[in-house]
Amino acid sequence: MDGMQPWISEVYITLATYLPLLERDYEKAITIWDQPEVQAIADNRGWLGWRDLYRGFAYQMMGNDDQARAHLHNAIRLTSNAQPTTTNIDAFELQTLAGAYALLGENQKALDASARAMQLMPEERDKIGGTFIATQNAYILARTGHRDEALAEIERLLIQPAGFDHWALYLDPIWDFFRDDERFNELIRPLNLDEALQ
């Protein structure tokens, strides 16, 4: 990333915001959203609330619950007040809403928002976008305590072309809450990984 020229694109915003999370550099995960090239994408529909969702998560991981709550509530405000578009954008924003509710512990609201997103963009209709929505739903299920259902979905989505990736699940801190479950650890372990060598 240090040698990459910033540019306004979804590819850049995805890389620029995801890498600090994988490195567990939560300060950078918060400040990267102030970069002009990132802001130019993050202020568009489909991304509403995403910046605050990520910042809220990063602040939670740093133990700053007041800042976390402020950002998560702002993500909820932005996505709840958005005018429906009757496009796939609505499903993406509903999953952002579900994520914010889940991180705040408002489990039923998280599940309801995620279920609405799944209805708007089912996998049968959109094999890429719908599968992404399904991966987010699996996270919401796990985060709200529905671990058995989440594990079944993770297993199913690990073999879908646009589904989960073993390494992403293994490294991404958003799944750290689930690492106390050996079923999850065994399921998501990258193939041929020898953890004894780490």
pLDDT tens digits, residue range 98-137?
999 999 999 999 999 999 999 999 999 999 999 999 999 9
- Which of 172, 198, 197 is CA-nearest to residue 184? 172
How many separate domains does the chain show? Answer: 1
* Domain, as residue range, for 58: 10-190
Mind giving me the DSSP string for 76-109?
HHHHHSSPP-SSHHHHHHHHHHHHHHHHTT-HHH
Question: Quick check: is 186 in a domain?
Answer: yes
Q: What is the pTM of this model?
A: 0.94
SS3 65: helix
Q: What is the mean pLDDT of each run of 10 residues along the chain (198 residues)?
A: 83 93 97 94 92 98 98 97 92 97 98 97 94 98 98 97 95 98 96 65
Which domain CATH number covers 121? 1.25.40
Question: Quick check: is 92 in a domain?
Answer: yes
Give the separation between CA 141 and CA 149, rounded to whole angstroms.
7
Q: Looking at residue 197, what is its pLDDT?
A: 53
CA of residue 77 relative to chain centroid, distance: 18
